[in-house]
Structure 1
Amino acid sequence: MFTLPRWNREVVSEQPGICEIEQEEPLITAQPLKWWGGKHYLAKRIIELMPRHVHYVEAYAGGLAVLLERNPYDPAKQWSDKSFERGVSEVVNDINHELTNFWRVLQQEDTFEVFRRQVEATPFSQIEWEQAEIRQHPITDPDVEAAVAFFIRCRQSRAGGFRAFAPLSRNRTRRNMNEQASAWLTCLEGLPAVSARLRSVVVLNRPALEVIRKQDGPKTLFYLDPPYLHETRMATEAYKHEMTEAEHRELLATIRQCEGKVMLSGYPNPLYDQQLADWQRKDFTIDNKAASGQTKRQMIESLWMNF
């Protein structure tokens, strides 16, 4: 039987007719995907800045690090105490069909159980990683085999880049085994919690600007993490669907017209600063997690907000 995540348990308040939500830590032990530019290390800080809202939208879903870190029943973020404005409506979208197929397979109880059995029978292996390449494109909707292949190709690759098998650690172990094998097993252990978390989330596979325009409203909060401007980063082919400068300009023009609240991630750049001159910008200093070596180069991540 399906069990709701721990933080989704309602308890009866001392006030008649009122339900409150227990605040507990999520059960997700590891992010399911290693995603280039993922916000795992910034998620908590981004969430702290979020205003109250009813409708939450991620138009560039990627690895969903922020959504999976969110407590959708946090009373500090809910719009009001009215019964129809408690909790939150959540929508995630990505133009990458292989990615959204993966999320859809995880969120459906029947497909997830098949997916789970297959990945739990799969070791951390370069042979498995190489063989998965030929089957990661969805044929049906949802496609469990494609989701399994996509998961292996992503999770067992170097920095989630899909292009090379993850290098093996030689100087240390984790849980008395190879570090990468341990990380793979830890990820598998957390999948049921990810599946449960996604049950109440709507997953779309549409162009981002179409989703932004359709989902906008006074009670909407957008968190947008698009592929960053090429001029601000070294790897310009990190994603299956990159964005040109013209597409970034169209995105900026679109979100300037939004009625709802918008949070936009990126590296500091003149284009965003010019087009969003009246927005607030918050900077974060982080280590470059994709860099090799023990000493990580520090980078500045920015968050533009229209509130």
Structure 2
Amino acid sequence: MLSNLFPEMVEQVHPAAAYIGGKRKLSRVICRAIDRIPHRRYAEVFVGMGGIFLKRSRVPSAEFINDWSEDVSTFFRILQRHYVAFLDMLRFQLATRSGFERLIRIDPSTQTDLERAARFLYLQRLAYGGKVTGRSFGVDPCGGSGFDVSKLGPLLESIHERLSGVTIERLPWSDFVSRYDTPETLFYLDPPYYGCETDYGADLFDRGQFALMAEQLGEIEGSFLLSINDHPAVRATFAKFAMAEVELTYSVGGGKNIKPVTELVISNLSYEDLRRALA
């Protein structure tokens, strides 16, 4: 449908590590919608580990990713520009509980960018549930180590290649939206879930940002998609926009129990256009 806008198609790439709030279950729906919405610029406001960005199959003429987390932005910048040196830093790292706990204690602000990126990836590969705050060493009794460089190398190389030509920013979300807003821009926003604002760090996001986000998104020239958990306060805050429910299921308790979950996808498209994009 949009082949004239997307002359290039790319293979989907897996994220380098788990990340809390990752969109593994929702990614297929969101990526399909993104590909169906006309745009020449794609701007992702909270990229995390790239669970949506890397899963898209069509590439517009310009792409911009952003995250206010210095760990995230440094990781992508290093992987884009210093891939070989980065892989060399990882090559002899052992996946041990003692190594994990030692790195947890290090203040990343005291490290070089290469060291910080390596620390972040190591911790995210081994942390239980992809947690960012309150990390604990995760062990899969039925699987191998989460940090196997022989398998990690090809994955990092594919992400490195995918990042070619991508602009990587570290800006507050509002500044990023203002900087890249044009009539041809499509923004994707995946803010912290309502009620989980501090899961990514105490100073990165607070609940008052949702109202500011709704106000600013109501004034942009471009289009946006926003995904978030279904909560009455979210529905009230973003009430002026089109909203669609997406029903998902998650396994809990080691896969023994299935939990149904409703996610909201919110947009400044018309309700009909949003439903068509998500269909």
TM-score tier (shorter): 0.7 to 0.9
Structure 2 distance, partners of 1:236, 1:65, is 19
Matched, 1:154 2:124: yes
Structure 1 274/150 Cα, relative in aligned 2: closer, same or farther at 3 Å? same
The secondary structure found in structure 2 opposite 1:49 is helix
Matched, 1:273 2:239: no
The secondary structure found in structure 1 opposite 2:17 is coil
Assess if the C-alpha contact under 8 Å between 2:19 and 2:49 holds in 1.
Answer: yes
- Which residue does 1:104 correspond to in 2? 77
- Which residue does 1:260 correspond to in 2? 222
Matched, 1:222 2:187: yes
1:10-21 map, 5 Å: 21=8
- After TM superposition, give the deviation of residue 278 of structure 1 in Å: 4.0
Matched, 1:93 2:66: yes
Of 28, 44, 51, which aligns to 2:28? 44
- Which residue does 2:200 correspond to in 1? 239
Point out where structure 1 has 5 or more consecutive residues left out of the alignment. Answer: 1-18, 74-86
Assess if the C-alpha contact under 8 Å between 1:285 and 1:301 holds in 2.
Answer: yes
1:62-73 map, 5 Å: 62-73=48-59
Q: How many residues align?
A: 259
The secondary structure found in structure 2 opposite 1:222 is strand
Structure 2 distance, partners of 1:88, 1:297, is 40
- C-alpha RMSD of the superposition: 2.5
Structure 1 53/20 Cα, relative in aligned 2: closer, same or farther at 3 Å? closer
Deviations 1:261-307 (A, max 9, x none): 01111111233323433422222222336x44212422111110111
Point out where structure 2 has 5 or more consecutive residues left out of the alignment. Answer: 1-5, 270-279
The secondary structure found in structure 1 opposite 2:139 is coil
Q: Percent identity of the aligned residues?
A: 20
Q: Bigger relative contact order, structure 1 or 2, given CA contacts below 8 A and separation 6+?
A: 2
Matched, 1:145 2:106: no
- Which residue does 2:273 correspond to in 1? none
Code of the aligned partner of 1:229? Y
- Which residue does 1:55 correspond to in 2? 41
Assess if the C-alpha contact under 8 Å between 1:281 and 1:303 holds in 2.
Answer: yes
Structure 2 distance, partners of 1:158, 1:292, is 14
Code of the aligned partner of 1:261? S
Structure 2 distance, partners of 1:161, 1:228, is 14
1:153-302 map, 5 Å: 153-162=123-132, 163-170=134-141, 172-173=142-143, 178=144, 180-181=145-146, 186-230=151-195, 235=196, 237-240=198-201, 241-288=203-250, 291-294=252-255, 295-302=257-264
Deviations 1:57-82 (A, max 9, x none): 11112121111111243xxxxxxxxx
Assess if the C-alpha contact under 8 Å between 2:197 and 2:205 holds in 1.
Answer: no
Structure 1 269/39 Cα, relative in aligned 2: closer, same or farther at 3 Å? same
Q: With the length of structure 1 as denominator, give the TM-score of the two structures.
A: 0.76
Assess if the C-alpha contact under 8 Å between 2:47 and 2:67 holds in 1.
Answer: yes
Assess if the C-alpha contact under 8 Å between 1:107 and 1:195 holds in 2.
Answer: yes
Assess if the C-alpha contact under 8 Å between 1:229 and 1:244 holds in 2.
Answer: no
The secondary structure found in structure 1 opposite 2:208 is helix
Structure 1 155/67 Cα, relative in aligned 2: closer, same or farther at 3 Å? same
Structure 2 distance, partners of 1:72, 1:139, is 39
- After TM superposition, give the deviation of residue 246 of structure 1 in Å: 1.7
- After TM superposition, give the deviation of residue 185 of structure 1 in Å: 5.5
